[in-house]
Amino acid sequence: EKYWTQGVSHALFFYTGNEGPIDQFWDNSGFVFEAATHFKALVVFGEHRYYGQSLPFGNQSFDAGKVHYLTMDQAIADYAVLIQFLQSKYKFTRTVVFGGRYAII
């Protein structure tokens, strides 16, 4: 929200989290923030499920019956749902996706 003003800016910059806690990527993504200042974009970092604080079943997330949700397809679906929610709620007209592995899919 540092660069974005609701109703003024219509750009969403979404960072697809990699396989690790999101704060590691936040701290090393200066370009995203530099671009956000120019476009007055809202920057959102989506954390990959099963990494960092994003444990879908809490302490049981790595149990045999639940770890099968740790897939690339599930991660991309999570990001798609979150982006669609943000676009709908804040009426973004432009969305740019950044990140490592999943941003190019």
Q: What's the pLDDT at 84?
A: 94
Rounded to the nearest 10 degrees, how much is the dihedral formed by the CA atoms of 63, 67, 68, 70?
Answer: 180
Kindly report the three-state secondary structure assignment for every residue of 7-71: CCCCEEEEEECCCCCHHHHHCCCHHHHHHHHHHCCEEEEECCCCCCCCCCCHHHCCCCCCHHHCC
Q: What's the pLDDT at 104?
A: 55
**Which tokens sit at 43?**
């920057």
pLDDT averaged over 10-residue windows placed end to end, the chain, 105 residues: 67 80 61 83 83 82 86 87 92 85 57
Q: What's the pLDDT at 75?
A: 85
